[in-house]
Amino acid sequence: MVNFEYKSAYDMSDFRRIIEVLRSPGGCPWDIEQTHESLRRNLLEEAYEVCEAIDQKDPEHLREELGDLLLQIIFHTRIEEEKGSFDLDDVADSSCKKLIFRHPHVFGNVDVSGSDEVIKNWDELKRKEKSQTTVTKTMTDVAESLPALWRAEKIQKKAKKVGFDWPDVGGAMDKLTEEMEELREAQAQGDKAHIEEELGDLLFAAVNVARFSDIDPEAALHKSCEKFIKRFDFVETEAVKSGRELKEMTLDEMDALYNAGKLKK
């Protein structure tokens, strides 16, 4: 039994203390073994679960998921604190300084006309802070760990800021058609590496269309996934009603049910 004070309600200092106890000798063997690398996926999953709670508009679920995400942040920080690198106060210090630096219209004497100018100033200050002297550097600084659709969108927005963009969605649509034809040619050649390249180009072009249409490509694909699941459920349900298993049906039979499912709202 560790030396710990049990309370009816806990605060941030208790949260930090619990992680410290779990990582200390006599704590939890699993927690002690963890590294940044072993926890990487947990961090990503918790962030996505926060997003799901936001989409569900459920405050209680959001509170829970934010706590799980905060746990990951404190855990990663504790690993570095044990090495003597930094602690949670250092993390807060750097973030506070960054916020103050990037909000001179609040903490300084800079005047802004609205949120558009705030974003413009933010980008300029960020480039200065990160020593981004070229547009290419701003692109390479976009995290590779981001979902690819979001990364593509952010890179495209960097190019747009210097005028490297179509004047309207028509150009993006034409490029999408062009990339589709190039993918068809690659498929006909049967060269897997070329197919992969052209498929990537097609997806990149599709993100451009989404960007021009002010649509989040990641959210759009998620909605398509949910739509497919709903329609496939209809196919499977109808098959069961008829006393058949999907693996016994032909593609044409399943496709007919799928199309029927499209008519269901």
Residue 26 placed within a domain: yes
- Among candidate residues 30, 65, 86, the one where a domain is terminated: 86
Same domain, yes or no: 256 and 237:
yes
- Tens of pLDDT, residue by residue over 92-109, are 999 999 999 999 999 999
- The mean pLDDT of 169-193, rounded to a whole number, is 97
Residue 167 placed within a domain: no
CA distance 123 to 113: 16
pLDDT at 4 over 90: no
Same domain, yes or no: 20 and 82:
yes
User: SS3 of 252, please?
Assistant: helix
- The residue ranking higher by pLDDT, 106 or 129, is 106
Length of the chain: 265
Q: What is the count of structural domains for the chain?
A: 3
- Among candidate residues 129, 159, 183, the one where a domain is terminated: 129
Helix, strand, coil percentages in the chain from 3-state DSSP, rounded to 5: 75, 0, 25
Same domain, yes or no: 49 and 33:
yes
H/E stretch holding 55 reads helix 36-56
pTM value is 0.75
Same domain, yes or no: 63 and 20:
yes
* pLDDT on residue 84: 97
Residue from 9, 2, 45 nearest 25 by CA: 2
Same domain, yes or no: 100 and 75:
no
Residue whose tokens read 């028509």: 170
Same domain, yes or no: 78 and 95:
no
Both structure tokens of 185 = 């040619």
**Burial of 192 (C-beta count, 10 Å sphere; 0-12/13-18/19+):** exposed
pLDDT at 190 over 80: yes
CA distance 13 to 24: 16
Residue 1 placed within a domain: no
Are 263 and 235 spatial neighbours (Cβ–Cβ below 8 Å)? Answer: no
CA distance 86 to 65: 25
Same domain, yes or no: 112 and 46:
no
Range of the domain at 107: 87-129
